[in-house]
Amino acid sequence: MCGIVGLLLKNSSLRPRLGELMVPMMIGMTERGPDSAGLAVFTEPVAGQLHKLSLYAGTAPIDWNQVQRHLGEAIDGEHTLKVTANHAVLTTSASPDAVEAWLDSHAPELTVLCVGRAIDLYKDTGAPAEVAKRYEFAQLRGTHLVGHTRMATESAVTPAHAHPFTAGQDFCLVHNGSLSNPYMVRRKLEPLDIEFETDNDTEAACRYFEWRLREGDSLRAAVQRGFEELDGFYTFLMGTDRELALVRDAFACKPAIVAETDDYVAVASEFRSLAHLPRVHDAHLFEPKPQEVYSWHI
Amino acid sequence: MAHLNQAPALEESVREFDLASTTVRELNRYLHKDLPAADAPRVVVTHPDGAHSIACGLDAPVDVEVHGHVGYYVAGMNKHARVTVHGNAGPGAAENMMSGFVRIRGYASTSAGASARGGCLVIEGDASLRCGISLKGADIVVGGSVGSFSAFMAQAGRMVICGDAGDALGDSLYEAVIYVRGEVKSLGADARFEPMSAEDRKVVAELLGIAGFKHDPAEFRRIASARQLYHWNADANQEY
């Protein structure tokens, strides 16, 4: 059991309200996922050669100013931090790989949750309403988002095991279901120098799809290939900087429902997360068919 | 679907539950324990907003109308009651129904009518996968199409599908009978098409009449069990 939510705003005037519209969606999925919650929000890409990294500091207090100062001394470039609780979005003009490597060795208490030019990511343990409040989800603006509420079934309840999972840049995935061959997928990917951070089954799917995207597959083609390679039950919702994509396995055991209007596309595990959305009763409301890839572009 | 949450004008002997301000538990407690023994009012439910277990476990001849979309298990285990959902239903609508009548005006998600022993379930829109799985005696009439694995291991009862069916229709069927008007993507193991008799056409006409669907019973085809799985066949080499 888990809950997924997704929202893509077609009407750009709604973008300042992205977080506000999403929070009741996420809280609506509390019974499906009471132990952790997470959210990837996609904004307009940062300018030029800048990149963003979402950082998570865990429960220990951290001196963010010191992290920023030491990073500036070590690596040339502009580095700015936007801090929310124990989370910060670092925007940098330096190579994100170099920044990540520096953080890894000089600020090991920080976890890099995601890297990209459009994505910000928040995830933590706790009830969805608490997590949403902790990270001020209602204030978030952007074009689209992918969210998740977790009821752990196959690996530990930790912030790292919460969804969304990310791999590469500007890519994330959330999952309702369970995979039965995640270790087979890992054994295929690890020799390709793809590193895993957890023992979570969803991470295997996330890294598999990101690998296929890097190999040149479209998201649609990658998912199509995934039907052969990934075994188990799933509703996956994926986000890139331009796109949301939704897919259910052949047996469609895990629910999903889509509401589409001229203003937005909203995805959730159940209608109760969509019921509050503006004009939802006039929306085109449907359940995605098994093994069909649905995608929407901003 | 523009006015889903607008209940009809109230008349005498109508009891309204607005789930925007009342819990499902209060609604169900009323339906289980507080209904008058005679002349029960019509019960109107508004703002269901996808809530689970609405009008579950009823055991009285009461009319319940739900205006809006419902979540899991609406009218589950129903006995005697007539439940109408003016909207879509989540998984397990009317599952384990014993008797009564349940109508879903929109579409129904997975496992609609699962294991239902009696009564009648009408779905005016499409039904998702596993509709009528393990059916045990109820009637199901679907105005639209059904998803894959529908009527899987259905033991008794009748299922009328006015649209198409997905993969593995009637897999491992026992004695339930399926009537389908549209295309069948594939039949499940041991399910087979059989000729329609005059009696079959009568059954289809009766069920279409109950559901209020206007189709010619002659357009339907009958699917029933070939009964080849009833006994273990050691020579089958596990290939069914």
* Cβ A167 vs Cβ A210: under 8 Å: yes
Give the separation between CA B74 and CA B89, rounded to whole angstroms. 7
Residue A206 designated active-site: no
**Longest Cα separation, chain B:** 67
pLDDT band at A271 (very low <50, low <70, confident <90, very high): very high
- Percent of chain A whose predicted confidence (pLDDT) is above 90: 96
Mean per-residue pLDDT pooled into runs of 10, chain B (240 residues): 54 89 98 91 97 98 97 98 98 98 98 98 98 98 98 98 98 97 97 98 98 98 95 70
Judged by CB atoms closer than 8 Å, whether chains meet at A252 and B1 is answered as no
Q: Is the Cβ pair B50, A287 closer than 8 Å?
A: no
Structure tokens that stand for A268 in this block: 């959730």
In chain A, CATH 3.60.20.10 sits at 2-42+128-297
Looking at CATH, the fold of the domain delimited by A46-117 is given as: Alpha-Beta Plaits (3.30.70)
Please tell me the distance in Å from A24's CA to the nearest CA on chain B.
Answer: 13
Rama region for A92: left / alpha / beta (φ>0; ψ in -120 to 50; rest): beta
Chain A residues with CB under 8 Å of B5 CB are: 281
What value does the mean pLDDT take over residues A56-69? 92
Q: Does B88 touch chain A (CB under 8 A)?
A: yes
How far is residue A70's CA from residue A86's CA, in Å, rounded to a whole number? Answer: 18
Q: In whole numbers, what is the pLDDT of chain A averaged over residues?
A: 96
- Residue B101, chain A, CB below 8 Å: the answer is no
How buried is B199 (Cβ within 10 angstroms: 0-12 exposed, 13-18 middle, 19+ buried)? exposed
Q: How many CB atoms lie within 10 A of CB A250?
A: 13
* pLDDT per residue as tens digits for the range A210-257: 999 999 999 899 999 999 999 999 999 999 999 999 999 999 999 999
Q: Do A253 and B110 touch (CB under 8 A)?
A: yes
Q: Do A251 and B5 touch (CB under 8 A)?
A: no
- pLDDT computed for residue B239 by the predictor: 59
Q: Give the Cα separation of B132 and B140 in Å (integer).
A: 7
Fold of A2-42+128-297: Glutamine Phosphoribosylpyrophosphate, subunit 1, domain 1 (3.60.20)
How far apart are alpha carbons A213 and A234 in whole angstroms?
20
Residues of each domain in chain A carrying CATH 3.30.70.100: 46-117
Q: What's the confidence (pLDDT) of residue B10?
A: 52
Q: Is the ipTM of this complex over 0.90?
A: yes
* The pLDDT of residue B12: 63
Lowest-pLDDT range of A18-27, A151-160, A178-187, B155-164: A151-160
Is residue B44 within 8 Å of B15, Cβ to Cβ? yes
Full set of structural domains in chain B with CATH: 14-227 (2.160.20.60)
Contacts of A29 in chain B (CB under 8 A): none
Q: Distance from A172 to chain B by nearest Cα, in Å?
A: 27
| Residues in chain B within 8 Å Cβ distance of A285 | 1, 69, 88
